[in-house]
Structure 1
Amino acid sequence: MANEQMKPVATLLLGLNFCMYVIVLGIGAWAMNRAIDYGFIIGQGLELPAHFSPIHFPMGNAATGFFVTFALIAGVVGAGSLISGLNHIRSWTSESLPSAASVAVIAWSLTLLAMGFACKEIELNVRNARLKTMEAFLIILSATQLFYIAVIYAAAASPRR
């Protein structure tokens, strides 16, 4: 790849995205743990409650279950994209670009899906501070992940001198 000037920018964005995905995973894990511990109580005969829903969360609103589930999936894929991203930055060749870009695009699309549920949760208006933090991180990640994809593609498309 010709443009070595984009390499520090890609490295910075990759590191920033990784840290933010880890924070999303931490908050999402807390929310999932809380939902498992306090979401519903199984009766004496091991029967589920009449209105049992596996995505009901005791905090937040009706969109919280979907939001947390897809945020966890996006967080795992986004954090996992660090592996192919580091490989691409280390070699910085056009041969390593497709794997880094494809995983980054998949992570970005899952982040957009989780961001959509975050927007729905914001619209429904009942949530706690941790969920608000995770919403903000996913909204920011949807932009920074797109910038990372644009930077690695721009470096590959730059003319050779």
Structure 2
Amino acid sequence: MAVGRNIAAPLLFLNLVMYFIVLGFASWCVNRYINAQTAHPSMGGNGATGFFLTFSMLAAVVGIVSKFAGGHHIRSWRTDTLAEAGSSSLIAWALTALAFGFACKHINIGSWRGWRLRILEAFIIILTFTQLLYVMLLHAGVISSRYGPGYRDADYGIRGPADEPGPKAGTAVAGTRV
């Protein structure tokens, strides 16, 4: 079994659980924010709160969906499933990194922030780095086949014109018309 697969599988599960937690906290905070209940003891916020919550929810939803593709890839662990898992996890990481930037701005602006917003900030910061590690583990097969399926498999995508499947010889009956 590949080294990358042994490390990527638990990290996939950890990130999936963390993305669900982020989705729960961000959804609760967005509900309070929409209802203009920012004075709630566990809410608070500042000018960056709306953007931070929006991108946190978006990153969480895309991250959850990418973990389903990643689970399929880890189960089959082939080169053709790597493209699906790798691209969706890279998009999830990019959105998480964007939410990370808003989390940093949210912390930098200051003012009073409730415990749910602070937990959401912490989870987004942690997820940014664990998702990056997960993306790197998925693509570790590029370095060596020991770490997983790579892009340099000998038989992947290399077919000549003579290798194309065509009609089988001897199946047609000469002189008949259909």
Matched, 1:62 2:47: yes
Q: Which residue of 2 aligns with 1:22?
A: 20
Q: Map 1:61-140 onto structure 2 (within 5 A).
A: 61-126=46-111, 127-140=113-126
Q: Map 1:7-18 onto structure 2 (within 5 A).
A: 7-18=5-16
Instruction: Say which is worse superposed, 106-115 or 5-14, in terms of deviation.
Output: 5-14
CA RMSD of aligned residues (A): 1.6
| Aligned positions, number | 141
Instruction: Say which is worse superposed, 63-72 or 149-158, in terms of deviation.
Output: 149-158
Q: Which has the larger radius of gyration?
A: 2
Local SS of the residue matching 1:34: helix
5+ residue gaps, structure 1: 41-57
Shift of residue 38, structure 1, vs aligned partner: 2.8
d(CA) in 1 for partners of 2:84, 2:142: 13
Shift of residue 140, structure 1, vs aligned partner: 0.6
Q: Which residue of 1 aligns with 2:131?
A: 145
d(CA) in 2 for partners of 1:8, 1:110: 26
Q: Which structure features the higher share of helix residues?
A: 1
1:34-90 superposed Cα distances (whole Å, 9 cap, x missing partner) = 1222359xxxxxxxxxxxxxxxxx720000000000000000000111111011001
Higher relative contact order (CA 8 A, sep 6+): 1
Local SS of the residue matching 1:95: helix
Q: Which residue of 1 aligns with 2:140?
A: 154
Shift of residue 33, structure 1, vs aligned partner: 1.0
Structure 1 stretches of 4+ with a deviation exceeding 6 A read none
d(CA) in 1 for partners of 2:127, 2:47: 23
d(CA) in 1 for partners of 2:83, 2:15: 19
d(CA) in 2 for partners of 1:89, 1:157: 18
Q: Which residue of 1 aligns with 2:161?
A: none
Letter in 2 for 1:10: A
